[in-house]
Structure formats: C-alpha cells, structure tokens
C-alpha cells in the first residue's frame, strides 16, 4: 500500500473534484509551505494570508489545474423532460443534441456543480451511479447521458 502523502491527497482531490482543497495544496506546494512527501495532516498548518486565500479562489475561477473542463449540460426537450450531456462547451452539447434529436436548442443550463453528487440509473450498465463517477468512466466527449424528468414538488424540484 503506497504511503499517503500530500501529493497523493492532491491527486485524489483533483480526481474527485474537490477544488478548494486541491488548490489549497497546490499553492502550499508552490509556495514551499508543504513538500510532496509530507503527511497530509500538515495541510492544516499552512499559514496562508488573506491574499493567498484570494489567490486560491482566483486559481479556482480560472481552473488552473483543469479540474472542471468537462461540464454537465441540460436542455429542455418538453415541459418536464431534459436531455443531459457531458461536454466541454454548450456548443459541443448542442451539436450532439442536433445529431440525436434533429434540433439545435439555444438554451443550455450548466448544472454540474449542483448535480455532481446526484445518482442516476444508467441505462447502458443498469447501475445506480453518481454523475461524477460516470464522468470519470467516459472516454470521449461530448457524451449523451440520457433524459431526466423533473417533477415539481412542495419541497422544490426533484430529478
């Protein structure tokens, strides 16, 4: 079993799209506050300033590590039904949608941050899987996930 290190933790955070933690470790390594081989518990001892915290947030916004290149997009195909796609851009999703449905909707919703921990029943494998895990398995993008029905309820919208 490999020794757990700050670097291993960084790779796991990138894999599981834990952006703030990944950028925290990345900047701490870059500034020399941590070394790759350090025990992960040392991340709590990093003396970041307010300016460095702002730098972490800015790196996250710019997606410096390329953590969020593939997004989850949805477009309406009827009153309560949406088609879901993994794609780099809304345009990529639109072109795939056009091939599947024969139309090019112009209204797209980026919903990955709200639904990466949502589980779906995947038709191809007949398994319940979280969207972030499904994204990890896909080799080629854009990718058509399928259709979902959105129901209005007293507690809000459910998928």
Residues 122 and 98 in one domain: yes
Cα 54 from chain centre: 21
Q: How far apart are CA 84 and CA 80, in angstroms?
A: 13
> 83-102, pLDDT tens digit by residue?
999 999 999 999 999 999 99
Residues 48 and 79 in one domain: no
| Positive or negative torsion for Cα 93, 137, 36, 22 | positive
Residues 50 and 87 in one domain: no
pLDDT value for 42:
96
Alpha helix (H) residue ranges in the chain = 6-15, 19-31, 50-62, 90-101, 112-115, 131-137
Is 1 a domain residue? no
> 108-117, pLDDT tens digit by residue?
999 988 888 8
Q: How far apart are CA 57 and CA 112, in angstroms?
A: 19
Residues 80 and 146 in one domain: yes
Residues 150 and 91 in one domain: yes
Q: How far apart are CA 13 and CA 71, in angstroms?
A: 17
User: Residue 126's domain spans which residues?
Assistant: 71-158
Within 10 angstroms of residue 66's Cβ, the number of other Cβ atoms is 8
Residues 115 and 37 in one domain: no
Q: How far is CA 38 from CA 9, 35, 72, 130, in A?
A: 10, 5, 35, 31
Residues 14 and 42 in one domain: yes
Is 107 a domain residue? yes
pLDDT value for 152:
63
pLDDT value for 51:
97
Give average pLDDT by consecutive 10-residue segment, the chain, 159 residues: 85 89 97 97 96 96 88 92 94 96 91 86 85 89 90 47
Within 10 angstroms of residue 44's Cβ, the number of other Cβ atoms is 6
Total number of domains in the chain: 2
pLDDT value for 5:
96
Beta bridge partners of 82: 76, 148
Residues 47 and 114 in one domain: no
Q: How far apart are CA 43 and CA 46, in angstroms?
A: 6
pLDDT value for 158:
38
Residues 54 and 119 in one domain: no
């Amino acid at each position: 079993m490999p020794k757990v290190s700050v670097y291993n933790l960084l790779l796991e955070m990138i894999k599981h799209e834990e952006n703030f933690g990944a950028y925290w470790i990345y900047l701490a390594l870059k500034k020399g506050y941590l070394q790759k081989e350090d025990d992960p518990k040392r991340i709590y001892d990093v003396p970041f300033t307010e300016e460095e915290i702002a730098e972490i947030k800015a790196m996250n916004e710019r997606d410096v590590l390329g953590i969020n290149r593939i997004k989850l997009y949805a477009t309406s195909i009827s009153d309560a039904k949406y088609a879901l796609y993994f794609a780099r851009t809304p345009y990529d999703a639109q072109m795939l949608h056009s091939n599947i449905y024969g139309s090019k909707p112009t209204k797209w919703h980026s919903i990955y941050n709200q639904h990466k921990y949502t589980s779906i029943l995947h038709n191809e494998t007949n398994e319940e899987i979280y969207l972030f895990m499904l994204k990890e398995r896909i080799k080629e993008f854009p990718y058509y996930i399928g259709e979902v029905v959105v129901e209005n309820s007293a507690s809000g919208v459910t998928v």
